[in-house]
Amino acid sequence: MSKRIATDGVDIFVEHGFGDLRRARDGQAPIHEVVSDYLRYLNWEPDDDFPSSLRLRQYPESVSVVIDPRFGHGRPVVAANRVAVNAITDLWEAGESVEDIAYDFDMTPEQVDELCRAVVRLAA
């Protein structure tokens, strides 16, 4: 297991140096500008040989969203509070204010707004 593994949701890529990505199955180098926005990287705990979570890069940097097998049953969760993304967006879609949601989940209103906008953008 390498600590430089990424996926675009279709293929697995291994980083062989400074930005040198190669597709695992055949060693083909992708056009980095094309796949960079879709790459998702594994997160590792210090002194652990297994990845702990997968950061989803399609969400804003201000709200780190991960898939962590310890939380959310494989669904995306906010890394800081381990709340499922759909729990937040369901409240937003039901008409709860951004401020109330932020208060409930120890987030800023800007983070809630950016997260909900990203989910709408992904769904489109």
Q: pLDDT for 81-115, tens place per residue?
A: 999 999 999 999 999 999 999 999 999 999 999 99
Q: How far apart are alpha carbons 72 and 41 in whole angstroms?
A: 18
19 and 9 Cβ atoms separated by less than 8 Å? no
Among 26-35, 44-53, 69-78, 81-90, which stretch is predicted with the lowest mean pLDDT? 44-53
Please report the pLDDT score of residue 2 as a whole number.
Answer: 54
At 1, is the pLDDT very low, low, confident or very high (cuts 50, 70, 90)?
very low
Match 């056009």 to its residue by tokens: 31
Please report the pLDDT score of residue 80 as a whole number.
Answer: 93
Residue 87, amino acid? A
Highest-scoring range by mean pLDDT, 19-23, 39-43, 69-73, 108-112: 108-112
pTM passes above 0.75? no
**Phi/psi at 39 (5° precision):** -70, 140
User: Is residue 77 classed exposed, middle or buried when 0-12, 13-18 and 19+ CB atoms within 10 A define those classes?
Assistant: buried
Q: Is 47 left (phi over 0), alpha (psi -120 to 50) or beta?
A: left
Please report the pLDDT score of residue 46 as a whole number.
Answer: 76
